[in-house]
Amino acid sequence: MTNPAPAITLDTLDITDTRLYVEHGYPWGAWDLLRKEAPVYWYQRPGFEPFWAITKHEDIGFISRSPDLFSNTQMLRLADTESLRIGQRARVRNANRYGGSPDDPPDFIFMDPPEHREHRSAVSRHFTPRTMRSLEAHFEELAENYVSRFADSIVERAQKDQSSGVVDVVHELAAKLPVAAICEMAGIPEEDWDQIFHWTETLIGAGDPEFRRPGESQEQAMRRSNGEWRQYNESLVEQRRQTGLGKDILSTLMQAEIGGQKLTPKEISAYFTLLVAAGNETTRNSTTGGVKALLDHPEQLEHLTDNPEHVPAAVEEILRWTSVVIQFQRTAMEDVELRGRTIRKGESVVLWYPSANRDEDVFEDPYRFDIERDPNDHFAFGGFGEHFCLGAHLARWEMRAILHALLPLLPQLELASQPELVSGSLHVGGIKRMMVRLATGTHEQ
Amino acid sequence: MKVQIDHTLCEGHAKCMDRVPEIFEVRDDDRSYVLLETIPTHLEEDVRRAAAVCPRAAISCVDDD
């Protein structure tokens, strides 16, 4: 993740072509240019509805704090027009099958206050620091186990191949704790965790042919995966109806009352899907990106191994550095002036979080990876305000646990190849595979 | 200047306490509390900054007239 300096101009820059993301990584140079020359930029490109590209930390902060001016209820994630059509058809099918209207909010992120607050608070007690403290020892134990299995598999692989033991960080390490944590909190039995992981991978990665079955289109893969997941989800609900409710998140959702009304089965399912999916992908990618960042900056890694008390600050810097969530979208509810431009009522604004996380007005020397950066007011969990990530505490606790457990092993590892990126998503910057091996000189031949 | 914290929003991120421990205290209920009714002039700027970086935008500053 360096700052390349190709000759780009406002007229030619492209921040929406997902193929470019896969080939070159995030368009840091384009975002730099936008922040400098056109921080509120009317972006018009084929295949996308035009929108205002918002790239400054301050402006994303203002919009995030102003849900009365900028609504979540219309467009939430920028996508090409074809993906939007697929999404709209899914809404219609869901309404036909489960009742309600295609225009109902698919989940509570699509709501504005006051509805949003009521829905969010239905499960918020599962994500408080107090709940995390009660789970901390357990997370640490899980993290130790996963890291030790990861280390074993490197050694096994090395012995078997007479090589340095090439192993994938994504599937053999980074994916483990996020799945385990959210599944345990949701009361999902351990034998189903692999399946859950597979579903969330398809839900988010359906744009990438690797996550589809042979001959399947993006839409077919999503339909299949959604259908299987819904069915599984309903079986969990049914089980609780028969054998009684527990202390898990799903039980909480089944009891929740909002405005004196219980949630409908469709709402429960959507809410639960959001929690499970959001809890998996993001933390996995931040963890993988964090391993890469530390291996790319050996002096920072050495400093951290010597001073493990910096792990929490290092996690914040990893969150800023990797900026896994690329954007969310809002719709202006009235005309708003911003940096001399007029955003008209009904127009859409897209908040580019990775750009905010490299804003030179907020972060000194933003392209320097610094595990002691302080303050570090990054927007990795979204802008501050109404929709700040509900799972932020959970994600932090998980990443701290993994990093603590991994720290003794990390200096012995090196990247065996550059990470392979998930294609087709303009929402989450996913890493599909990242191979590491024992560094030269640290393994016996 | 006075400070108010909306406890329906506060989720215990404690960035306010990290910034200005003289004014903010996050307690066992994971909510932040204001320790002084009137903010001393020399801390006003820090408190405004703490309000600006509250992840939930739960802190509001009210200037004395």
pLDDT of residue B47: 98
Nearest residue of B to residue A387 by CA position?
A: B56
H or E element that contains A19: helix A18-24
CB contact under 8 A, A130 and B30: yes
CB contact under 8 A, A388 and B30: no
pLDDT band at A45 (very low <50, low <70, confident <90, very high): very high
**3 state SS of A122:** coil
Residue A36 lies in a domain: yes
Cβ of A384 and B53 within 8 Å? yes
Residues of A in contact with B15 (CB under 8 A): 377
pLDDT tens digits for range A76-111 = 999 998 888 988 898 898 888 888 899 889 899 999
Residue A80 structural domain: 18-438
Task: Note the pLDDT of residue A445.
Answer: 41
| CATH fold for domain B2-62 | Alpha-Beta Plaits (3.30.70)
| Predicted local confidence at residue A208, as pLDDT | 80
| A366 close to A357: Cβ distance less than 8 angstroms | yes
Strand partners, A351: A54, A328
* Chain B environment of A64 (Cβ under 8 Å): 57
- Closest to A128 (Cβ–Cβ): which among B8, B19, B30? B30
Cβ of B13 within 8 Å of Cβ of A117? The answer is: no
A137-195 residue pLDDT tens:
999 999 999 999 999 999 888 888 766 679 999 999 999 999 999 999 999 999 999 88
Q: Tell me the shortest Cα–Cα distance from A349 to chain B, in angstroms.
A: 20
Closest chain B C-alpha to A359 CA, distance in angstroms: 15
Characterize A164-203 residue by residue with b for buried, 16 or more Cβ atoms within 10 angstroms of its Cβ, and e for exposed: bbebbbbbbbbbbbbbbbbbbbbbbeeeebeebbebbbbb
User: pLDDT at position A444, please?
Assistant: 46
| Average pLDDT rounded to a whole number, residues A256-277 | 90
pLDDT value for A265: 87
What is the pLDDT at residue A424? 79
* Residue A212: per-residue pLDDT: 83
B contacts of A385 (beta carbons < 8 Å): 56-57
- Over range A333-354, report the average pLDDT: 98
What domain count does chain A have?
A: 1
Which of A124, A127, A384 lies nearest to residue B55, judging by beta carbons? A384
% residues pLDDT > 90 (chain A): 73
When the pLDDT of each residue in chain A is averaged and rounded to a whole number, the result is 92
- pLDDT above 80 for A344: yes
Report, as an integer, the average pLDDT of A432-444. Answer: 79
Q: Model confidence over B19-42: pLDDT tens digits? A: 999 999 999 999 999 999 999 999
Question: Is residue A337 over pLDDT 70?
Answer: yes
Distance from CA of B38 to the nearest CA of A (A): 25
CB contact under 8 A, A377 and B28: no
CATH number at residue A31: 1.10.630.10
Percent of chain B with pLDDT over 70: 100
Phi and psi at A395, nearest 5°, equal -60, -45
Express each pLDDT in A390-414 by its tens digit: 999 999 999 999 999 999 999 999 9
Q: Determine, yes or no, domain membership for A8.
A: no
